[in-house]
Amino acid sequence: MNIGILALQGAFAEHGAMLDRLGTDHFEIRQTRDLERPFDALILPGGESTVMGKLLHDLGLFQPLLQRIKNGMPVFGTCAGLILLAREVEGGTPCFGVMDICVKRNAYGRQLGSFYTEAEFCGLGSVPMPFIRAPYIRSVGPKARALAETDGHIAAAQQDKMLVTAFHPELTDNPAIHRYFLECVKKAG
């Protein structure tokens, strides 16, 4: 199994370190020639979603990645990655727009509104959840399902082969959510 990690900005290196801990091959996607390498799944890291969307278009990565996602490639989006996948974005414009969720950008305020908590994640028990200028999922449509909540807000969701978290599991020592994603990739074949 080989995972492509979008490496335009944000916490891509931390996702790579977590995959290293789990013994999973990965590489960084920075330009279109990186897409020539075979990969089984994609990680869209945290960062700034507007900048990431602009860079995806400017570098010619948007259409090829959108096509792979639409064709069923498993994808895991954290924080800004969640925003990139959402069909509806309050306070912003959808990018890929493939996941049946409505997201509120910067829902917890500015950088000073960042916080850490632990909460139940569907089937995994309690997991650590660092939120950094985080969005939250206001609602999930009929195609998606909520996997975790904190303070009455949806913090994680899944739709088919797409997994999103409003928080940053790559910034913790707990590999449970990355392991969960890798299991989804294995099931996808």
pLDDT of 11 reads 86
Among 143, 133, 72, CA closest to 104: 133
List the chain domain ranges. Answer: 2-188
Is the pLDDT reported for residue 167 higher than 80? yes
pLDDT of residue 94: 92
pLDDT digits 0-9 by tens, 121-141:
998 999 999 888 788 899 999
Strands 75-78 and 162-165: parallel
Q: What's the predicted TM-score (pTM) here?
A: 0.94
Give the active site residues.
79, 168, 170
CATH code of the region 2-188: 3.40.50.880
CB 122 within 8 A of CB 103: no
* Percent with pLDDT over 90 in the chain: 77
Q: What is the pLDDT of residues 28-61, one digit of tens each?
A: 999 999 999 999 999 999 888 889 999 999 999 9
Structure tokens at 142: 């009929």
pLDDT for res 108: 65
pLDDT in tens, 108-118: 655 555 778 88
State the DSSP H helix or E strand holding residue 57, giving kind and residue range, or none if neither: helix 49-58
Other C-beta atoms closer than 10 Å to the C-beta of 173 total 7
The answer for residues whose C-beta is within 8 angstroms of residue 175's C-beta and 6 or more apart is: 18, 21, 22
